[in-house]
């Protein structure tokens, strides 16, 4: 509770009041009843005055000292912020926070105490220097068995035969493939090139002791970080026969499991009015224009050849029409079939694109012919891209 005893500021006559903390409290009353005298000239003035007095003499000389209010005592008061009242604004980028400038305080607060999390797996994201990683590993008990691994391949497809040969030539002896430890001198398993794999090179194995050389562990960590471009994995066995504990360290701010990198947390990251912090979809406006598929294909009883797509029309030889002809050949559907009779999957490809699948297209212009292969962008992504570029 904030307890005010006998306030006598302006037209307050020995007012005593208790205000609960951590709640939204509204002070109401007729004109001249002392609302501003209580809120601004008493509570805010005393909160600011006490905060400024807690600062150094050097810092106080740059701040305006508020006059001590005429009050017997105030208990339970924290530093205060007063928000200036302003007229309404119809700017779509203006909010209560920006108009009152309280948003600047929040951006500084979030940048100072914010803890980043991976947007995919929601796990906490941290980054460590090689020295911090070494200090963390040396905190484990003596006689702990420690293996330093470098995750050189993280969730990528391939056979990696040349990579194994390179490691063997460089003098490495062990490697962990998809969670299984192998010797590079033995015959390694044949990896399916169509499946994703996890390959970790064993840099060193050691037992923590009082005599262990810190420089050796530092060299191991730095080499692991260099080979994997910023990642190192430490496997610990604290007791014989006990379950192993694995810790993944990251030299950069990012999630090692999802391969998701994050920018350094700074105040500008929390500003939706700056390109660095604005949402890439809505550009910080909080709303997004979405393409309506029913406006692209208004009459689904027509076929693509009859001009079902409003932007193409019937019989017009355009680049988009040539792409649709190639799309029909690739996915084996007819341009003469009414759109409503096409499989839903085909309609989705027409609207949203073919993804990574490349479509071979014969382009016939007035002066040239060309054959090229590239994914079909889709009608909706094409319209959105052109809208952004306009």
pLDDT for the residue 7? 94
In the predicted structure, residue 280 carries a pLDDT above the cut 90: no
12 close to 21: Cβ distance less than 8 angstroms: no
Q: Residue 312: is its pLDDT beyond 80?
A: no
Selected residue with higher pLDDT from 300 and 289 = 300
Question: Predicted confidence band at 367 (pLDDT cuts at 50, 70, 90)?
Answer: confident
Sketch out the chain's domains with CATH numbers. Answer: 2-75 (no CATH), 130-261 (3.30.190.20), 293-389 (1.10.8.280)
Give the single-character DSSP code of 41.
I
Judged against a pLDDT cut of 60, whether residue 138 lies above it is answered with: yes
| Predicted pLDDT of residue 349 | 93
The residues, ordered by sequence, that sit 6+ positions from 225 with a Cβ below 8 Å of its Cβ are 130, 150, 231, 232, 251
- Cα separation, 84 vs 76, in Å, equals 24
Tokens of 237: 């066995």
Distances in Å between the Cα of 343 and the Cα atoms of 305, 325, 332, 340, 351 are 17, 17, 11, 8, 13
Q: Where are the beta strands (DSSP E) in the chain?
A: 2-7, 15-19, 71-75, 145-157, 174-177, 180-183, 196-207, 231-237, 245-250, 254-255, 260-261, 358-364, 369-375
Does the structure show a pLDDT above 70 at 317? no
Which pLDDT value is given to residue 28? Answer: 93
**Per-residue pLDDT tens digits for 211-265:** 777 888 899 999 999 998 888 999 988 777 666 888 888 888 877 777 677 888 8
Average model confidence (pLDDT) for the chain? 86
Give me the pLDDT at residue 313, please.
Answer: 53
- Residue 342 CA to residue 332 CA, distance in Å, equals 11
Q: Does the pLDDT at position 373 exceed 70?
A: yes
Q: What is the dihedral of CA 53, 54, 56, 62, to 10 degrees?
A: -50
pLDDT digits (tens, 9 = 90+) for 16-62: 999 999 899 999 999 989 999 999 999 999 999 998 888 888 888 88
What's the CA gap between 370 and 363, in Å, rounded?
A: 5
CA distances from 215 to 69, 203, 212, 252 (A): 62, 14, 9, 22
Q: What is the pLDDT of residue 46?
A: 93
- pTM flag (> 0.75): no
Task: Look up residue 124 and give its DSSP letter.
Answer: B
- From 282, 283, 223, 268, select the one nearest 107 (Cα to Cα): 268
Identify the pLDDT of residue 14: 93
Please name the residue that has the structure tokens 């999957």.
345
Cα distances (Å, whole numbers) of residue 86 to 94, 102, 354 = 12, 13, 51
User: So what's the pLDDT on residue 263?
Assistant: 80
Q: Would the CA dihedral through 334, 340, 345, 351 be positive or negative?
A: positive
pLDDT band at 316; cut points 50, 70, 90: low
């Amino acid at each position: 509770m904030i307890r005010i005893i006998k306030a006598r500021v302006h037209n307050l006559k020995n007012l005593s009041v208790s205000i609960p903390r951590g709640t939204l409290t509204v002070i109401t009353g007729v004109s001249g009843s002392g609302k501003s005298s209580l809120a601004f000239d008493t509570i805010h003035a005393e909160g600011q005055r006490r905060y400024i007095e807690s600062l150094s003499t050097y810092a106080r000389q740059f701040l305006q000292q508020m006059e001590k209010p005429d009050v017997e005592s105030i208990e339970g008061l924290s530093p205060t912020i007063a928000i200036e009242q302003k007229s309404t604004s119809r700017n779509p980028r203006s909010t209560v926070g920006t108009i009152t400038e309280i948003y600047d305080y929040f951006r500084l607060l979030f940048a100072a105490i914010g803890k980043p999390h991976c947007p995919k797996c929601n796990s906490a994201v941290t980054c460590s220097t090689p020295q911090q990683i070494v200090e963390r590993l040396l905190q484990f008990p003596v006689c702990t068995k420690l293996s330093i691994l470098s995750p050189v391949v993280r969730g990528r497809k391939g056979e990696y035969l040349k990579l194994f040969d390179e490691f063997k030539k460089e003098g490495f002896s062990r490697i962990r493939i998809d969670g299984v430890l192998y010797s590079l001198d033995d015959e390694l398993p044949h990896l399916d090139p169509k499946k994703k794999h996890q390959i970790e090179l064993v840099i060193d194995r050691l037992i923590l002791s009082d005599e262990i050389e810190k420089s050796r562990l530092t060299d191991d960590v730095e080499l692991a970080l260099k080979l994997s471009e910023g990642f190192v994995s430490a496997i610990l066995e604290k007791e014989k026969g006990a379950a192993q504990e694995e810790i993944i360290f990251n030299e950069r701010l990012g999630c090692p499991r999802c391969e998701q990198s994050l920018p350094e947390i700074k105040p500008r990251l929390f500003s939706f009015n700056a390109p660095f912090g604005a949402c890439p979809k809505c550009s910080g406006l909080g709303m997004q224009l979405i393409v309506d598929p029913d406006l692209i294909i208004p009459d689904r009883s027509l076929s693509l050849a009859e001009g079902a797509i409003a932007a193409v029309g019937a019989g017009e030889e355009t680049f988009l029409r040539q792409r649709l002809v190639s799309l029909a050949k690739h996915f084996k559907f007819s341009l003469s079939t009414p759109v409503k009779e096409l499989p839903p999957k085909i309609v989705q490809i027409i609207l949203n694109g073919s993804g990574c699948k490349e479509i071979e297209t014969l382009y016939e212009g007035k002066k040239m012919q060309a054959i090229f292969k590239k994914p079909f962008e889709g009608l909706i992504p094409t319209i959105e891209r052109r809208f952004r570029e306009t």
